[in-house]
């Protein structure tokens, strides 16, 4: 029996760390690194790093909503990157490292708005953008499952409890 899945797309700095951290969540079936939110068709890593395409480094998360809700995935997203940093995460600087949620449904949009409001009420100056999903371009193969393949841990993504 095939289970239904949902898709969520998050940008929170270097996609290697976001991919690694979200892939550990029970109920997540796959996480794919890629690019979204820009104007170039099928951009390359070098083009995105040039800061001329407008794309963000992002991850496309496929999850089983019977095991984990979109809200749980989004909460973890807000706790594995700093949603108060504009166009950067730690040592990575540039608009391709922005904090952005690319929602795929109105339910996702409402949930993200609720979580951002909750963080603001807790004193966080959230700069995360909320944008309808557009074309997601998978990154080159050498970016997929980067930390898993290298046998190392993320250097700029750590869990920080915010909720």
* Residues of the chain under the 50 pLDDT cut: 1
Instruction: Assign 119 to helix, strand or coil.
Output: helix
pLDDT at 1: 42
Domains of the chain: 6-150 (3.30.1060.10)
Beta strands in 4-162 (DSSP E): 6-12, 28-36, 56-63, 88-89, 92-93, 99-103, 129-132, 137-138
* Active-site position among 14, 115, 119, 156: 14
49 is catalytic: no
């Amino acid at each position: 029996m095939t289970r239904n899945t949902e898709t969520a797309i998050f940008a929170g700095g270097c996609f290697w760390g976001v991919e690694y951290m979200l892939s550990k969540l029970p109920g997540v079936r796959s996480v794919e690194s890629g690019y979204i939110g820009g104007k170039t068709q099928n951009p390359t890593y070098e083009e995105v790093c040039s800061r001329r395409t407008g794309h963000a480094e992002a991850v496309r998360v496929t999850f089983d909503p019977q095991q984990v809700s979109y809200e749980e995935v989004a909460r973890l997203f807000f706790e594995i990157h700093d949603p108060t940093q504009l166009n950067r995460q730690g040592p990575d600087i540039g608009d391709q490292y922005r904090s952005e949620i690319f929602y795929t449904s109105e339910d996702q949009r409402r949930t993200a708005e609720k979580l951002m409001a909750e963080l603001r009420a807790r004193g966080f100056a959230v700069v995360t953008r909320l944008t309808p999903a557009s074309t997601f371009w998978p990154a080159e193969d050498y970016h997929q499952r980067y930390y898993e393949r290298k046998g190392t841990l993320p250097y700029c993504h750590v869990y920080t409890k915010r909720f």
